[in-house]
């Protein structure tokens, strides 16, 4: 069996104050992740990754789901933070379920320099691509 879960019984950091987040401000809430708009077999889907990438992605999603959006936005893009990617920089086709009013995407780190990319509506983060091969957008230097 694997090693014991060190997270068991720990309270999410944003809840330690004993004060509940403001439900009217999605920035005070953690992301709720959705894969419903991800296109399977696109080369950038969850099922297109190796098992170790899927494991790292799941661990990162778990970690981020315990932080409020405002903390994620304020963190370094090379760590737990995010990076805004303009729509024109995205190389694969944008899924048809994504409406035209979405003009930029959010890139989040999951392991090494690998990212997962999607967009946010309120508290929900729609994951569209897992950029395990660095082909979703130009990562620069």
- Average pLDDT across each block of 10 residues of the chain; the chain has 141 residues. List them in order: 52 57 82 95 92 96 95 86 94 94 96 95 96 90 51
DSSP 8-class letter at 84 = E
Strands (E), 45-100: 82-86
What is the predicted pLDDT for the residue at 78? 79
Distance of CA 25 to the CA centre of its chain: 19
What is the predicted pLDDT for the residue at 10? 59
Cα separation, 99 vs 35, in Å, equals 16
Alpha-carbon distances of 137 from 20, 44, 61, 123, rounded to whole Å: 37, 11, 21, 24
Sign, Cα dihedral of 89, 125, 110, 64: positive
């Amino acid at each position: 069996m694997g090693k014991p879960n060190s997270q068991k019984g720990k309270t999410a950091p944003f809840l330690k104050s004993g004060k509940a987040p403001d439900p009217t401000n999605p920035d005070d809430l953690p992301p709720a992740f959705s894969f419903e708009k991800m296109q399977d077999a696109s080369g950038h889907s969850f099922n297109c990754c190796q098992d170790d990438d899927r494991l790292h992605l799941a661990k990162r999603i778990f970690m981020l789901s315990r932080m409020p959006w405002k903390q994620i936005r304020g963190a370094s893009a090379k760590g737990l933070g995010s990076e805004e990617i303009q729509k024109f920089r995205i190389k694969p086709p944008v899924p048809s379920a994504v409406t035209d009013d979405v003009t930029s995407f959010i890139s989040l780190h999951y392991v090494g320099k690998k990212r997962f990319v999607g967009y946010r509506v309120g508290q929900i983060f729609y994951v569209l691509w897992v950029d395990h091969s660095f082909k979703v957008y130009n990562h620069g230097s």
